[in-house]
Amino acid sequence: MAEVKDSQPLEIQKREYQKMVQEVQPRPTVGRNVFWAFVVGGLICVLGQLLLNFFQGRGLPLTEAGAATSTVLVFLAALLTGLGVYDEIAKFAGAGSIVPITGFANSMVAPAMEYRGEGLVLGVGARLFTVAGPVLVFGIVTAWLVALLYYFFR
């Protein structure tokens, strides 16, 4: 075998090698990832809509109903992260479990749990903001900036 291969021009060997690599490599999973991100992300938003309708039905104005919805979603995500369920969902849901506010809550709880051994202050307290910190920095600065622009240029 080896002798035959060696006698072939290098180009052909290269092409055959690439073909073999392609056959062995796992199929591109982008399609599947996108599908599950859509389904899970969509379903979390449907749950949000259910909660929103429920709180509005109880007589809360839209703004407060929205705040109550976020609060419940964040609570559920923190609980499911603690139980290890959220990360199981995240394995196949990808961005579907990252982009909703539940993903924000998950990004706080997961590292805080992980680094609890480093203490309540530098472990839990600091790690809660591993991702939430940057989110708040960029979110608050952007909101401040657009409000400033609005003030001067309205």
Find the binding residues for another protein in span 50-109 (CB under 8 A): 50-53, 66-71, 73-75, 78-79, 81-84, 94-96, 98-105, 107-109
CB burial readout 110-120, b (16+ within 10 A) else e: bbbeebeeeee
Specify the residue, 20 or 50, whose C-beta has the smaller distance to another protein.
50
The distance of closest approach from Cβ of residue 59 to another protein in the complex, given in angstroms and rounded to an integer, is 17
Distances (CA, A) of 115 to 63, 125, 154: 35, 10, 47
* Nearest Cα to Cα of residue 127 among 76, 81, 70: 81
Residue 13 or residue 53: which is nearer to another protein going by CB? 53
Q: Which is nearer to another protein, 8 or 49 (CB)?
A: 49
- The span from the CA of 147 to the CA of 114, in Å, is 37
Q: Cβ 1 to another protein, closest distance in Å?
A: 35
Q: Which is nearer to another protein, 12 or 140 (CB)?
A: 140
State the nearest-atom distance from the C-beta of 13 to another protein, in Å.
Answer: 28
Smallest separation, CB 19 to another protein (Å)? 23
* Separation between Cα atoms, residue 42 and residue 152, nearest integer Å: 38
Q: What is the DSSP letter of 128?
A: T
